[in-house]
Amino acid sequence: MSIKYGLLALLERGQAYGYQLRASFEESTGSTWPLNIGQVYTTLSRLERDGLVQALGENPQGQRPYEITMAGRAALATWFATPVGDTERPRDELAIKLALALSTPGVDITTVVQTQRTASVRALQEYTRLKNRATGGDDISWLLIIDAMIFRVEAEVRWLDHCEASLLRHQRTRQETSTAETEVPDQAPEAVPTSTGETTPR
């Protein structure tokens, strides 16, 4: 994933060592993407192997800073110039879950949808609280990231609303066709089917 490019972008600002990189990474993503130091070192050694960064020997403080190479700069520029493709995102577990919920006996999909919606709205409440608190400061990159998450979750909720509406419509048409099929031909015209399928006189 783009921890690689994240580190390259940070090194583009100037040389830095592992702990510094981790701190700046978390700072610039507003701590929304915590990294452990192991991930930082693994990524750095891969970047070094590919010639995108170079290690600068130990300094008197015992730290081993890295700096970006020409090849690293080029890779970073390409990354910024390339849109993020749909296939690079992880498979949508939620879409898969809903599709399976439809076909799994004993699972009520409207409950699955509502449970997800409540969780998503709760996430929105938390992001919004962070955002509301952050405003006033000048940390625009942090706000940008919160907004990205907010809009993404909003889209998820809209999609859930859409799923629920389609499901309801689907169920209704199914019910209508099934009651139409079971209707007795010589039934009295005053009788109307109730939701339970029984007929009652008006």
Partner 1 sequence: MTVLELRDVHRTHGAGEAMVHALRGVSIAVQPGELVAVMGPSGSGKSTLLNLAGGLDGPTGGEVFVEGTAISQLSRRSLAALRRRAIGYVFQDLNLLPSLTAIENVALPLELDGMSVRKARAVAAKALDDVAISELALRFPDEMSGGQQQRVAIARAVVGERRLVLADEPTGALDSQTGESVLRLLRARCDAGAAGVLVTHDARHAGWADRVIFLRDGLVVDASGPLPEAEGLLEAAS
Q: Which residues bind partner 1 (CB under 8 A)?
A: 114-115, 117-122, 124-125, 127-128, 132, 150-151, 153-154, 157-158, 161, 164-165, 202
Tokens of 164: 């629920």
In the complex with partner 1, which residue's Cβ is closer, 2 or 115?
115
CA angle 70, 74, 79 (to 5 degrees): 145
In the complex with partner 1, which residue's Cβ is closer, 161 or 176?
161
DSSP conformation class of 84: P
In the complex with partner 1, which residue's Cβ is closer, 19 or 151?
151
In the complex with partner 1, which residue's Cβ is closer, 31 or 132?
132
CA distances to 116, 123, 149 from 95, rounded to whole Å, are 11, 18, 18
Give the dihedral of Cα atoms 123, 127, 128, 129; nearest 10 deg: 100
CB 104, min distance to partner 1, A:
21
CB 145, min distance to partner 1, A:
15
Residue 55, helix vs strand vs coil: strand
CB 154, min distance to partner 1, A:
4
CB 121, min distance to partner 1, A:
5
Residues of the chain by 3-state class (helix, strand, coil), percent to 5: 65, 5, 30
